[in-house]
Amino acid sequence: MNSVNFGAGSVAGIVGAFATFAFGHWTEALTFLLFAIGVDVVTGVYASIKEGRGLSSAVGSAGLAKKG
């Protein structure tokens, strides 16, 4: 078993368990919300790399905080 895949699966499982505990049950709206957040993060990383500014956790955190 690849340790990277195991680690990513473990993190996904923990996040999913926490979300289910926090919101009661998993709905289609929650799935859509997490998908939209994922798309936002991926497009933000792509835009940052394309503009040549590199990745900054401070900028990424501020962007996620604005949406939350």
Expressed in angstroms, the distance from the first to the final Cα of the chain is 36
Q: In terms of C-beta density within 10 A (0-12 exposed, 13-18 middle, 19 or more buried), how is residue 56 classed? A: exposed
Q: Per residue, what are the HEC states of 22-62?
A: HHCCCCHHHHHHHHHHHHHHHHHHHHHHHHCCCCCHHHHHH
Domain ranges of the chain: 25-68
pLDDT in tens, 29-55: 888 988 988 898 888 888 888 888 877
pLDDT in tens, 4-29: 566 677 888 888 888 888 878 778 88
